[in-house]
Amino acid sequence: MCDFCVQYGEGTVWHQNPKNYARRMYSDRRKKADRPAGPPPEVASQVLHAQLFAARNDEPEKVPEIRAELVELIAKTHGGQVVTLDEAKEMVDLASPIALMGCVCRRVVRGKVEKRHEFTCMGLGVGMFKWDRWPERYKGGVEFVTPKEAKKWLDKWNKAGYVQTLMIFDAPYIGGICNCDYPTCLAIRYRMDYRLDSFMVKGHYVAKVDLEECNGCGRCFGRCQFGALTKEIFEEKAYVDAMKCFGCGVCQTSCNRDAIALIEKSTWPAMEGVW
């Protein structure tokens, strides 16, 4: 079980718990007196980001301290977790409404403003009715879809190679399914390049290659966004490092010999603490 399941799962996998889709995006409904002192979490996060970049560029020795603070803040506010294609499809059956939109990471990283037919981001929950309050975040508008249509989009993104991830907007509220890659997904990049682990927590599975079935065809090579799957040159087969694997299953869906299985981490005792 991951930390999210322990805290918000109520006996189930936390993203299968309908309660975690039932709150508004980023609205702090606590009474003023109950809110933590200091700046709101969005502002605190921006300040810490700026400090982290400055430290990484010029004073790396200061990075660990800032990183620890930011990791803790992100775990409570705007982290993400890798999910499999099947898990993502279960999520769109739980959450309503479902809206497609352009990816904000690709906009700030590659200047890409996605048009409707090329959207790669999916918002979930009632917050989507208020998207016009934050037009810069949802530039280009949103398009509401049915769960059936949403599943088709998820298939399309998975086939293209994008990793499905859930996005948290003020934990435990799940506000969307992102379709990520390295390096244009900021969450993955912050985890891989800055080791901000709470930005993109590993999923509940790991990929396992069946070395008798794998014929080294190479369909899965290059699909791993986490550097976990490579070609084992000597055996001429796919190799997955379970300790690096995030459990997205993007390698599995490309295999036409069923040579990659997704194993539930809870069945491999030593994987229990690897998130």
Partner 1 sequence: MSPLADEMKPALAQIDVDFSKCTVPMTCKKCLLLCPQLVFQLVTLKDEKFKETAITDAGAYIVLPLHRWKCTLCGVCAEECPEDAITLTSRRG
The answer to whether 116 contacts partner 1 (rule: CB under 8 A) is: no
Separation CA 229–CA 141 (nearest Å): 36
Applying the rule CB under 8 A, the residues between 15 and 54 that interact with partner 1 are 53
Q: Which is nearer to partner 1, 56 or 76 (CB)?
A: 56
User: Using CB under 8 A as the criterion, what x/- string covers residues 129-168 for binding partner 1?
Assistant: ---xxxxx--x-----------------------------
- Is 40 in contact with 28 (CB distance < 8 Å)? yes
Please pick, from the candidates 39, 40, 183, 222, the single residue that binds partner 1 as defined by CB under 8 A: 183
User: Using CB under 8 A as the criterion, what x/- string covers residues 211-240 for binding partner 1?
Assistant: ------------------------------
Please pick, from the candidates 15, 23, 107, 151, the single residue that binds partner 1 as defined by CB under 8 A: 107
Q: How far is the CB of 110 from partner 1 (least distance, A)?
A: 5
Please choose, out of 108-116, 164-172, 212-220, 257-265, the segment that lies near partner 1 by the rule CB under 8 A.
108-116
- Is 181 in contact with 31 (CB distance < 8 Å)? no
Please pick, from the candidates 47, 108, 160, 243, the single residue that binds partner 1 as defined by CB under 8 A: 108
Distances (CA, A) of 229 to 18, 178, 220, 255, 260: 33, 21, 8, 13, 11
Please choose, out of 59-67, 88-96, 228-236, 260-268, the segment that lies near partner 1 by the rule CB under 8 A.
59-67
Which residues of the shown chain bind partner 1 in the complex (CB under 8 A)?
A: 53, 56-61, 63, 107-111, 113, 132-136, 139, 183-184, 189, 192-193, 195
